[in-house]
Amino acid sequence: MYTSRLNILSIILFSAFISACDQSKEDEFELAKVPVSKITTDATTAMLNREEQPFLIAPMVEGLNYCEKAMHADQTSSDYQYCQERNFSMTAELSDLLSKLEPSGAKGHVQVGYTYGIPVSSLYEKRHGEWVLDTKKIETIFNNIKSVDRPVVIYPFMDHFDSSSELAKELAQDDTNLMLLSNGKPPMDRYFDSSIIPYTLSTDESIPVNKYRFEGFRAIIRYYNALPDEQKQRIKAISLAGETHHMFENFQAGMGKFADIKLTDYSDRSKAGFREWLKTKYRTIGDLNTFLSTHYTEWADIEPPSKDIHTDKLTDFSEHIDSYAHGVLPIFGWLWNDSNKPLNNIHVYVDGEFIGQADDHLNRMDVYQALDTLEEPSVGFRYDLDFSKLTPGIHEIQVVASMGNKMYELTKQTFAYVDRNQSTPEKAAITSNNLDIEPASKLEGLRFYIDHPKSLQDVYYNPLADLWNQYRGHQVENFINYVWLQAINSGAEKSKLFSHQIPTYLNASWNTILFATDKSVSEQSSYLPGVTLYGGSADGVAAMKLFPTLNSGPYSMPEFHPQQYKSKVRTYNALMTHYNTSAVFVTPYYMSIIPEFIRYSSPEHAKFLIEDKNEQYGSHYLFQSIVEAARM
């Protein structure tokens, strides 16, 4: 679900940049054809014992409940007639699909199963004006699992994508159930052809949506726990809750937006939770005032920041929030090195002093799609500059690539750190680093672009905004922990419980504070980590480096699609890299058992459909890679 989260504007900008700066070479420029070898995969290379813990490839399959829905359709319709011939069950079609991927059944070090998605709100029916849990629907799900002799991951999702049931549509009409923007309205939106509902991150079960989703989730786990051991062993993992994060305006295309952003959650319940969180963090309101340089007399007076100093009139500086108010200025771009010099590191200097190395190998699918000769999309880099530690003023940023034994300047520009009184900033003194740095334009075979920040970007540090964003991250992790606890108390094994999170930082150009998920992918979490990996992040190189929890024990990929349509080998390697590490399962997104003549999907969403004949996004390569991997 990542492809439409691309910054289309940046494609236009850097395409123009390439044309302007490299037009004379464009006709003669060719990618050096370096052979890409398949990675070695056998039982001895894996971090997990693959004899005891096979690598499970469990694609998300569309249509598992299709015939159950068709049972209530017009009896003259094509879908009703199709399902009537199959006794309103799609299990035979599921078995046929999985047999195409692994004909001999689930055997060996790599096994093919499937992921069973369960929208929790769909388990309810309205009877006599009341929504009641229909346990027969849960029974049907587990009967389907029993009838298909394959390992399975069950995925009860209760996030913003649980939106199509009648119960969900009713819940969406009550703002009590929803995250709210600062204007008091929920960010209702669509993702491809589906509506999304920004459900609250509160775990208070007096809220209607929580009453239903937690009750339904616990019922699923209790049913699982009551299964005979043989059937329980078939269920290899449980993916918790679905993608859990804060919401924002323009969900499908706004991931890379930094100006005029609209955040959640400003509901009364969320604001009250923020105050309680502050009470726990600070001994007295006086201690908080000292930290914030404020004059609050009561905890109840504290409001989370909700105004942008660039566009709104503030009555106090503590009201300010934007993409940088928490004290961090992202520096990011992309670099494609096809020179004869190896890239060592990307260094960042501020006012001439070295402050750190940028993270590289980050996902830039937009660059990959724009440049035909670029073979892989992991060309992004990023450094999050903590400017709150600097003195207010005009500061110089210098980004330098270390290539071989030389250094090449990618950019030198300034930004303005303005103090809370909006005093005119003075230019900071520049320290000479006495380095021999050449312009990057001198190195043939190097292409790059600095997307962010813009020159003379003005930034303001509001410590209350920093605390608000910390609390928003706490809300995300707290929700997943609560779901995990419900699973444990209902009989699930800890070893089977995985989160389903977006590691936003892996996408170099995304605005991470929109999601507030960084805290929820950490070594301190109770649940086992599960991260969605698309595009350049699918090979796991940056993920392993930036999220140490993926190196410390079992993990999963509850959504996975390399989207690398230029190379089957790279697609195969992206998949099998996780075999060699400690991945328990991967869920390629997505396959379908609904026949084509009644299948409907938006053209953009259909690009992800993993079929041997679908060449969009390299979905055919992923299909072929799964088949090849399953032969091990």
Region 517-534: mean pLDDT is 91
Give domain status of residue 38, yes or no.
Answer: no
395 and 501, same domain (yes or no): no
Supply the pLDDT for residue 403.
92
Give domain status of residue 281, yes or no.
Answer: no
Of the candidates 481, 474, 585, which has an alpha carbon nearest to the alpha carbon of residue 241? 481
Supply the pLDDT for residue 75.
82
Q: Binning pLDDT at 50, 70 and 90, where does residue 11 land?
A: very low
Query: How many domains does the chain contain in total?
Result: 2
494 and 436, same domain (yes or no): no
Query: Each residue of 164-220: pLDDT tens digit?
Result: 999 999 999 999 999 999 999 999 998 887 899 999 999 999 999 999 999 999 999
Q: Are 274 and 468 in contact (CB under 8 A)?
A: yes
482 and 451, same domain (yes or no): no
Q: Which domain holds residue 481?
A: 52-254+465-629
Task: Among 443, 460, 477, identify where a domain stops.
Answer: 460
Average the pLDDT over each of 7-16, 285-294, 401-410 and give the range with the smallest value: 7-16
181 and 199, same domain (yes or no): yes
Region 324-347: mean pLDDT is 95
- pLDDT tops 80 at residue 625: yes
Task: Among 433, 460, 487, identify where a domain stops.
Answer: 460
- pLDDT tops 60 at residue 236: yes
Where do the H-state alpha helices sit in 355-503? 365-370, 463-489
480 and 609, same domain (yes or no): yes
Task: Among 460, 489, 521, identify where a domain stops.
Answer: 460
Beta bridge partners of 51: none
- As given in the structure block, the two tokens for residue 19 are 């044309």
Average the pLDDT over each of 321-325, 494-498, 603-607 and give the range with the smallest value: 603-607
Q: Are 414 and 455 in contact (CB under 8 A)?
A: yes
Give domain status of residue 13, yes or no.
Answer: no
97 and 194, same domain (yes or no): yes
CATH number at residue 164: 3.20.20.80
469 and 616, same domain (yes or no): yes
> How far is it between the farthest Cα atoms of the chain?
80
Give domain status of residue 6, yes or no.
Answer: no
Distance between CA atoms of 414 and 188, rounded to whole angstroms? 37
- pLDDT tops 80 at residue 16: no
Give domain status of residue 36, yes or no.
Answer: no
Give domain status of residue 312, yes or no.
Answer: no
Query: Each residue of 374-423: pLDDT tens digit?
Result: 999 999 999 999 999 999 999 999 999 999 899 999 999 999 999 999 99
Give domain status of residue 395, yes or no.
Answer: yes
Q: What is the pTM of this model?
A: 0.92
Q: Binning pLDDT at 50, 70 and 90, where does residue 35 land?
A: low
Pairing of strands 380-386, 328-337: antiparallel
Is the link from the previous residue into 590 a cis peptide, with omega within 30 of 0?
Answer: yes
236 and 335, same domain (yes or no): no
422 and 499, same domain (yes or no): no
174 and 208, same domain (yes or no): yes
439 and 473, same domain (yes or no): no
Query: Each residue of 74-122: pLDDT tens digit?
Result: 887 888 888 888 888 899 999 999 999 999 899 999 999 999 999 999 9
Query: Each residue of 564-621: pLDDT tens digit?
Result: 999 999 999 999 999 999 999 999 999 999 988 887 777 888 999 999 999 999 999 9
- pLDDT tops 50 at residue 21: no
413 and 379, same domain (yes or no): yes
Pairing of strands 497-498, 235-239: parallel
Supply the pLDDT for residue 245.
97
Query: Each residue of 118-161: pLDDT tens digit?
Result: 999 999 999 999 999 999 999 999 999 999 999 999 999 999 99
Distance between CA atoms of 561 and 1, rounded to whole angstroms? 9
Give domain status of residue 302, yes or no.
Answer: no
> In Å, how far from its chain's centre is CA 308?
26
Distance between CA atoms of 607 and 619, rounded to whole angstroms? 7
Radius of gyration of the chain (CA): 26
